[in-house]
Structure 1
Amino acid sequence: MKNTICSAVALMCGLAAASIATPSRAQTAVQVYGIVDSGIAHLTNTNSAGDSVTKIPSLTSSFPSRIGLRGTEDLGNGLQAFFVLENGLALDTGVAQQGGRIFGRNANVGLKGAWGTLTLGRQQNMTYISGLKTDVLGPNLFAIGSIDPYLPNARSDNAIGYLGNFKGVVLGATYSFGRDASAAGGPAATNCAGEVGGNSKACRQVTGLIGYETRNWGVNTSWDQLRGNTGAAGGLTSSIHTDVRRTVNGYLMLGTTKLGAGVIVRETNANPATGLSKSNLFYAGASHPFGSFVLDAQVARRDTKNSGNDVDLLVARLSYALSKRTFVYGAVGRMDNDGVSAVALDAGGTVGAGLAQNGAMLGLRHHF
């Protein structure tokens, strides 16, 4: 893995140097960018014995750490070509995220014009995009991604994507021939490579989005269907098995204060052992800047149908800008598990079944 990461960084630096050194030969403008974010978190009730733990998080802190390359070329007549190669990394150990992929966050190429954007490759799908402006905490360590880990990992391999904005009307869709080629495990690597001869439904994924956005308010709705295949995670062990999410959400600006809320309706039709499950995830939050500070707060509840295993979430985060690129932050949160539910407050963490979990975090983030 060490060699893989070194190779990825060397490739990024080499491409960037080539672009800078030979501007007369290469018309593509290439940018190296990233986020480096880490913190220390303390969690209670991490097991049935009620033990606590203090750790440096692996999956995310306030934002997932990453390093990327993106470039554009002007083709004339308002048309541009572009590419994005983006690597996610765990800052506690330095390993690659998204199932160990070198460019697991994004690896795509496309065309962009007044008609919208057409993208080919691994990319964020419409479930991810629909929540960008309404989930005020985003991929924070304590957030709705702890309840549904797919949400901050809503990307598709082998995909064709389209997104357009026509005077505020937003339309988008993705179609994947094989949604997840990594077998490393977790929500970002579910072993469903697809592209199987004789079974076009194997690991297929279709997502869609329609909405309306202005500077002061916006609403959207999205639809996301994942299909399975032999060996896929989450009980989706056949192409007839599906996992469907429907979202409706919106945001409202009151001066500089942002309000965001939504509902995610999920229906999973998996193998007989797992069966059919339905749930509604409701969330609402607010973000308020004052001076160099930003205060974010969010509440959420997942109601699982025909089950007492519901969960409730409460989170607050305070960030302070040391500069335009460097921030310090602190966050507190609580996850209440009903019945035998075992949803951890921290993304990727553990909690004793049926126990409430409290957490606190301090961290540092730098953008480049």
Structure 2
Amino acid sequence: MKRTLIAAATAAACSYTYAQSSVTLYGVADAGVEYLNHVPNAVGQANKLVRMTSGNIAGSRWGLRGVEDLGNGLKGVFVLEGGMALDSGTAVQGGRLFGRKAYVGIDSSRFGQLTLGRHHNLLFDLIISFDPMLFAPKYSSFNHDAWLAGRTDNSAKYAGTFGGLTVAALYSFGVDSSVANGSEVPGNSRIGREMSAGFTYQAGKFRVGGAYDQLNGSSAATAGKTERRYVGAAALDINPISVYVGYRRLVSQLVTSMPRTDLLWAGVNWNLAPTFALTGAAYKTNDRTSAKDPVSFVLSADYRFSKRTDAYITASYTKNNGGSALGANGYDGSVLPGNNQFGTVIGMRHSF
């Protein structure tokens, strides 16, 4: 018995000694100059605007990613990732230090990964690869519905890949901790709750994905009300061209403006050369409760100097039907209701 215990202890010590672990510092720096027309000034008149912007085709960020091999196909993992405005040096995501991601968990090569903390939602994880513009902060489906790239506090997330199938589920005890009494309230677990599930499947050159996401209200008065999104998308990758289509239905009891909408998109990515790519896309929101049906068209060109540095130019034209007020950057008040808007941004991105 004594020899058995000594052998077990020695094996455990050796396993710990030779365990592979690492911490990686990484990030993205993205900045450019943007032009917009029909932007309201202080007295509500439409004007042109030229400005410097951060996070145009990818949000500027920095982060730490860690992994430790625990043996038997298990790994301990963590991510701490913060967003920044490169033009001003300030933190974004409400000033949070790690506002983009902050989680810890365990990864199994057989069963998938389970993590706890602050995450991107599953709409982002599962559907981003089906948007021609990859949910870019500017000029993508993100501008029609920002929750497609939302983040959720106090959440547990599972994701597993089995052959060509990836499945995922997420539960949040309170989506936004910055809302007073908006999450994890004693006696009312529905306040700020989120439940989500989805999948992607790849068979050769064809890919398909779908997700369901449900949010509850962030107060005691609205905890029984929900906001639900149903998303389906597909892509066909025929090198050097990829073709994308997508659909999202929103049914909300939490908003009074555009509470039931359909969002449709389609686009093409064409890698003309190893260093140059063109992307074209169209996005349309159909409001089922009014005539507010904005449509946006996007064209983007990207030139890669290296694997880590590229330059880009992106242009967008938004047509606001029925008095809608969608700007090139979303529903941010940057365009007068009913006015169309042209926007373009030229910039550079470096990844490290």
Length-normalised TM-score, structure 1: 0.85
How do 1:23-172 and structure 2 match up within 5 A?
A: 28-47=21-40, 49-58=45-54, 60-113=55-108, 114-140=110-136, 141-152=138-149, 154-172=150-168
1:275-312 CA distance string (max 9 Å, x none) = 88210000111111122111111101000002011100
> What amino acid does structure 2 have at the position aligned with 1:160?
A
Instruction: Report the Cα offset of residue 131 of structure 1.
Output: 1.5
Root-mean-square deviation (CA), in Å? Answer: 2.0
Pick from 318, 323, 329 the counterpart of residue 335 of structure 1: 318
Instruction: Report the Cα offset of residue 97 of structure 1.
Output: 1.2
Q: Greater CA radius of gyration, 1 or 2?
A: 2
> What amino acid does structure 2 have at the position aligned with 1:269?
Q
Q: Is the 8 A contact 2:192 2:219 kept in 1?
A: no
Q: Tell me the residue number matched to 2:185.
A: 196
C-alpha distance in 2 between matches for 1:107 and 1:282: 31
Instruction: Report the Cα offset of residue 250 of structure 1.
Output: 1.0
Instruction: Report the Cα offset of residue 349 of structure 1.
Output: 5.8
Runs of 4+ in 1 over 6 A off after TM superposition: 23-26
Q: Which runs of 5+ in 1 are unaligned?
A: 1-22, 184-190, 232-236
Instruction: Report the Cα offset of residue 210 of structure 1.
Output: 2.4
Instruction: Report the Cα offset of residue 46 of structure 1.
Output: 1.0
C-alpha distance in 2 between matches for 1:107 and 1:46: 36
Identity %: 33
How many pairs does the alignment contain?
330
Structure 1 stretch 344-353 or stretch 69-78: which is displaced more? 344-353
C-alpha distance in 2 between matches for 1:104 and 1:51: 33
C-alpha distance in 2 between matches for 1:352 and 1:192: 34
Q: Which runs of 5+ in 2 are unaligned?
A: 1-15
Say yes or no: does 1:254 pair with 2:238: yes
> What amino acid does structure 1 have at the position aligned with 2:148?
L
Indicate the structure with greater strand content: 2
1:166/1:25 CA distance change after superposition, 3 Å: closer
C-alpha distance in 2 between matches for 1:215 and 1:70: 31
C-alpha distance in 2 between matches for 1:344 and 1:248: 25
1:224-275 CA distance string (max 9 Å, x none) = 00111329xxxxx51012111110101110122111111000011127xx28
3-state SS of 2:132 partner: coil
Q: Tell me the residue number matched to 2:213.
A: 224
Q: Is the 8 A contact 2:127 2:210 kept in 1?
A: no
C-alpha distance in 1 between matches for 2:91 and 2:300: 27
Instruction: Report the Cα offset of residue 214 of structure 1.
Output: 3.8
Q: Is the 8 A contact 2:258 2:288 kept in 1?
A: no
Pick from 251, 262, 280 the counterpart of residue 262 of structure 2: 280
Say yes or no: does 1:177 pair with 2:161: no
1:111-146 CA distance string (max 9 Å, x none) = 111111101100112111121210121233111111
Length-normalised TM-score, structure 2: 0.89
